[in-house]
Each structure stands twice: as C-alpha cells, then as structure tokens.
C-alpha cells in the first residue's frame, strides 16, 4: 500500500543570511526596533546608506523592502496579521458595536480581530468557488444598512470579485480592508498584486505562509493618514516615527494624530525582521515553485471521479501554498472515512466544516449571540478538503499524494456501489 512519509507541518526554513543576522542581533541585545540612532527626513534606499551595516534597523529596512515589493507607499510591520486587521479597523474609524461585514468562510483570527476592535461581525455566504457571494452581500446590506466596514478575506488565497465588491461598497459608503494573509504574491490580469482594491491590505508571516517568521504581519497602504495612525498605534511614541523608512514624510500628521491614538504595543521586533528580509529576495522563486506543485496536483485530481477543484476567477493569478477541493456525492461518514483513510497513509487533510476546525463559523460563538444561518456556506464547507503543500515536495511526492487520494476515494465509492448493487 502506497504511503506518504513527509511531514506536512514542517515550515519552510529560514535562509542562512537571516540566521546569521539574528545571531548578531542576539549577541548585542539590540532586538527593539528603535534601538538605533539614525532618523529619516526623506526616503532613502537602505542599501545605499550607512544603514546597510547598522544593527537594529532590521524592521525599518524590512518595511521599506516589503512596501516596494507589494507596491504600496507605506508598510507597518507588526506581531501578527490579526493585529494588523485590528489596527486597520481602528484606523478606518471603527467604533464600539459598529458592524463589520466579513466572510463566513475564513479563519477565526478575522472575526476575532473585529471583536478585538469592538465591532460586530456580519457574516456573508461563500459561493461554490469559496468566494464572497456578491448577491448575499447585497441582501445583507439591505438587512444591515448601518454596517459600513468590510474585511474581505482572501481565504486560502481564493480572491473574490473585488471589482464588483468595490463598486457596491463605493455606492454604499462601505470601507474595505483586504485580508491578504493567504494571497501574498497573487496577481490580477493587469499584473498588479492583490491587495490594492482597498485602502488597506493586511499580510501574514506566520509559519505556514509565504513568508515565515513564526508570527508576524504587515499593514500596507498608500494613504498617509492611515499609515501614520498605524505607525503610532503599533507602538511608536514621542518622535520615533522618524525612524521609519516606509512612512509619510509629513511630521505634522504624526504630531496631529499622536495625542488621539492609543499605543497598542504591537510592534514587530528586529529579530523577527532579520529572519524575514532574506525571504523577500527569494519570494518570487518560492511562489513559482508552489504554482508548479499546485498545477501538477490539480492535473491529477481533475481526473478523479468525485473530486471538484473550484476554478479561480479568470482575472486572478493565484499564488497557492495549499490545495482545496470538494468531495462530491459522499455522506458525512464517508467524508470522515476519507480523512481517516488518507491519514493512515500519511496525508494530513482537514475538512473545513468540522467542529475541530478553527475555520468553521459555528466555532466562533464569541462573535454572536445567535447562531448565524449560513446554509450555503455550511453545505459547501461540509465536504471541502484542505491540504497544505510545501516547496520541499518533489514531483514524485505530488504523484504519491494524488495516487493516495485517488485510491482511497475509489475504495470508498466502490464499496458503496457494491452495497447498492446487492440491495
């Protein structure tokens, strides 16, 4: 019996350059992001300045490099994407008990950030492509005309119809924030990265994302007031904003906002930034590797009866670091058996719509007083499978994964057909 022997939970390693830089920082103790003397009155290239060899500037340089990669003017590095979403809501003006639209199909960190900011999540149905159901969004606007914020989560890198969503939000005066935790490197057909439809985009560097620092996140924006607010809220006090390279070089904005912005102390530290900076340089190469693996596995699974891989929007070029697919015409017990039998053979596959999964909306009871009715989402995620990929996987590994899925499903469906034929 064919088995898969590699570990799906091993994250990508830190490049040696990041390890060496982190060791130097620890030897000096200068891990606090503002523990250097330089101040910036205008934009400079880190590699062309005295900062190139100075310790304790890792976060400042990372923010600059990340903002240039993603194409936003400003970036603020924080301790998690959840913190990034929380601060983005505060920067957008969210007040206590304000309603926030968001996906019913996402990770618990998204509604948690809304609750953390004092808001109330209003959940939207997903469609068969795992995307925001735009028609349901229109219905929910009618039901909640006072909801003026929307965190659009590109769950597992599945990017919704942002053109349609933005048109609706512009008409209704709804403020969009994009959760790009799973979509770093994804592009539109115009070549522009996902994360520019909204005024604010949030990214993650948690271990199982494209960038790996264990925990970490970014707020990216081209709006100077949002950037200034988030720099201050993350933990910049007095005149430390002058130590930011990827910031608005308008000190008046900082001085105006400073008395009114709480210090939430959610900064990223230099140790985290040191392990991330070398990864940006190899990010495109890593994304391309993921795409190759995804295409190979998709090609195999598309030949498997009973498996459906929902297509992406034509305009979207995904950067997939995982595979999602739906099992068709199986009972709940058969789906459970599929997970069990593939696990015995070494595959770590999860079903989104299960009470042991933090991506199942019924587990977010902290965010509602009455269970939301989301029949469409419930039906889709009840048989939606989630399988992590890794750049360390070989083409042979992908063939093995595909063969195991194919074999297990064949056995389950075959036994069912035998039972039916004997009745």
What pLDDT, in 10s, does the model give residues 50-66? 666 678 999 999 999 99
**Does the pLDDT value for residue 411 go beyond 60?**
yes
Confidence of residue 419 (pLDDT cuts 50, 70, 90): very low
Per DSSP, the three-state class of 177 is strand
- Residue, of 13 and 54, whose pLDDT is higher: 13
Confidence of residue 1 (pLDDT cuts 50, 70, 90): confident
pLDDT the model gives residue 295: 98
pLDDT the model gives residue 44: 84
pLDDT the model gives residue 48: 55
What pLDDT, in 10s, does the model give residues 230-272? 999 999 999 999 999 999 999 999 999 999 999 999 999 999 9
Confidence of residue 43 (pLDDT cuts 50, 70, 90): confident
pLDDT the model gives residue 394: 95
Per DSSP, the three-state class of 124 is strand
Stated pTM of the model: 0.95
What pLDDT, in 10s, does the model give residues 158-211? 999 999 999 999 999 999 999 999 999 999 999 999 999 999 999 999 999 999
Positive or negative CA dihedral for 231, 232, 238, 239? positive
Q: What is the mean pLDDT of residues 122-136?
A: 98
**Mean of the per-residue pLDDT values for the chain?**
95
pLDDT the model gives residue 421: 43
DSSP secondary structure letter of residue 126: B
User: How many other CB atoms sit within 10 Å of the CB of residue 14?
Assistant: 18
pLDDT the model gives residue 208: 93
Confidence of residue 391 (pLDDT cuts 50, 70, 90): confident
**Does the pLDDT value for residue 98 go beyond 90?**
yes
Please, which residues have CB within 8 angstroms of residue 97's CB and are 6 or more apart in sequence? 118, 119, 120
CA angle 2, 210, 313 (to 5 degrees): 85
Distance CA 218, CA 220 (A): 6
Q: What is the mean pLDDT of residues 16-42?
A: 94
Q: Which domains occur in the chain, in start order?
A: 16-281 (3.40.640.10), 283-422 (3.90.1150.10)
Structure tokens at 100: 């926030």
Distance CA 183, CA 159 (A): 8
What pLDDT, in 10s, does the model give residues 75-96? 999 999 999 999 999 999 999 9
196: phi then psi, degrees, rounded to nearest 5: -115, 0
The residue assigned the tokens 């639209």 is 101
> Could you please report the per-residue DSSP string of 219-248?
EEES-HHHHHHHHHHHH--TTGGGG-SSS-
CA atoms within 13 A on the CB side of 342: 26
Structure tokens at 157: 């890198």
Please, which residues have CB within 8 angstroms of residue 251's CB and are 6 or more apart in sequence? 241, 242
Beta strands 99-103; 149-153: pairing state: parallel
pLDDT the model gives residue 420: 37
């Amino acid at each position: 019996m064919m088995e898969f022997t590699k570990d799906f939970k091993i994250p990508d390693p830190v490049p040696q350059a990041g390890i060496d830089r982190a060791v130097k920082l620890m030897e000096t103790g200068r891990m606090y992001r503002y523990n250097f003397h330089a101040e910036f009155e205008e934009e400079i290239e880190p590699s062309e300045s005295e900062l190139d060899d100075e310790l304790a500037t890792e976060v400042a340089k990372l923010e600059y490099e990340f903002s240039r990669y993603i194409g936003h003017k400003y970036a603020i590095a924080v301790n998690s994407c959840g913190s990034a979403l929380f601060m983005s809501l505060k920067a957008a003006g969210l007040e206590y008990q304000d309603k926030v639209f968001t996906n019913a199909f996402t990770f618990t960190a998204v509604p948690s950030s809304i609750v953390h900011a004092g808001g109330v999540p209003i959940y939207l149905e997903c469609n068969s492509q795992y995307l925001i159901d735009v028609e349901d969004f229109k219905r929910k606007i009618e039901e909640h005309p006072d909801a003026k914020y929307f965190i659009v989560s590109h769950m597992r890198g599945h990017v919704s119809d942002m053109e349609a969503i933005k048109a609706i939000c512009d008409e209704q005066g709804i403020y969009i924030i994009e959760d790009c935790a799973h979509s770093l490197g994804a592009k539109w057909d115009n070549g522009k990265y996902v994360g520019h439809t909204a005024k604010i985009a949030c990214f993650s560097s948690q271990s199982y994302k494209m960038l790996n620092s264990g925990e970490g996140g970014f707020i990216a924006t081209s709006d100077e007031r949002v950037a200034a607010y988030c720099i201050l809220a993350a933990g910049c006090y007095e005149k430390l904003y002058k130590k930011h390279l990827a910031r608005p070089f308008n000190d008046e904005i900082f001085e105006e906002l400073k008395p009114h912005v709480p210090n939430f102390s959610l900064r990223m530290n230099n140790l985290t930034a040191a392990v991330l900076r070398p990864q940006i340089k190899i990010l495109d190469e890593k994304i391309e590797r993921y795409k190759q693996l995804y295409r190979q596995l998709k090609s195999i699974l598309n030949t498997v009866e009973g498996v459906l891989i929902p297509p992406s929007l034509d305009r979207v070029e995904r950067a997939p670091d995982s595979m999602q697919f739906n099992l068709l015409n199986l009972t709940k017990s058969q789906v459970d058996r599929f997970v069990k039998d593939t696990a015995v053979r070494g595959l770590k596959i999860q079903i989104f719509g299960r009470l042991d999964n933090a991506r199942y909306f019924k587990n977010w009871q902290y965010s509602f007083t009455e269970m939301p009715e989301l029949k469409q989402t419930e039906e889709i995620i009840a048989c939606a499978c989630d399988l992590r990929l890794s750049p360390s996987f070989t083409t042979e590994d992908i063939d093995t994964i595909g063969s195991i899925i194919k074999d297990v499903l064949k056995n389950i469906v075959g036994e069912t057909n035998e039972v039916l034929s004997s009745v």
